[in-house]
Amino acid sequence: MPIGQPIFEDVPPDHPARECICAIVGAGIIAPLSMNPPRFAPDYAVTRAQFAVYLSRVMNLEPRQVAEPSFADVTRSHWAHEFVEAIYARMIMAGGLADPPRFLPDEAVTRAAAAIALIRAKGLEPLRPSEATFADVPPDHWAFGWIERLVDRASWGGVVVAAGCDAGPPPRFCPDTVVTRAQLAILICRAFSIGA
């Protein structure tokens, strides 16, 4: 393929996530939406089930078979069952507190939830600086320490794994905004040094 030509029809050469998309697709972590025509669907939201699969792949976790499913909504017949169980066993992603417990596999992943899962997947702890980096993630926010760790360059060897959604002033992180496939490609690519 000539240099500068898009690999996917919907990921042009100047797309900000193009390199990371190519890297994670090449590594077999996230599959294209289709190959004929070649499309990645960079703006599609990522579901919790899909995220569990992607994290399992990047962490090289074996799909986990269990006699009794951990979640009422991810039964043994669910396409992502073994990946969800693998991620849950490592406490990378948890389910809801409903009785019986539910994973909400079709719910879109938010930026805050992605931050927590990525930090846990890397074996890191929350970071608690004296001042908040983002106006919409104050110290009393439930994901404060996780988000602060995700955006802390020193925690990632100087690499910017994630930034805010709005430079401001004041800067914002948009913790409740859903994560797209392109955004997740960047997060995984940088956090796990895929294609580096």
The pLDDT of residue 3 is above 50: no
pLDDT cut 70: percent of the chain above it: 96
Across 81-91, average pLDDT: 96
The whole model's pTM is what?
0.92
Label residue 100 by pLDDT band (50, 70, 90). confident
- The residues spanned by each domain of the chain are 1-44+180-196, 47-107, 111-177
* Segment 184-187 long-range contacts (CB within 8 Å, at least 24 positions apart): 184/30, 184/46, 184/51, 184/54, 184/109, 184/114, 185/17, 185/20, 185/21, 185/23, 185/24, 185/30, 185/42, 186/16, 186/17, 186/20, 186/162, 187/114, 187/118, 187/161, 187/162
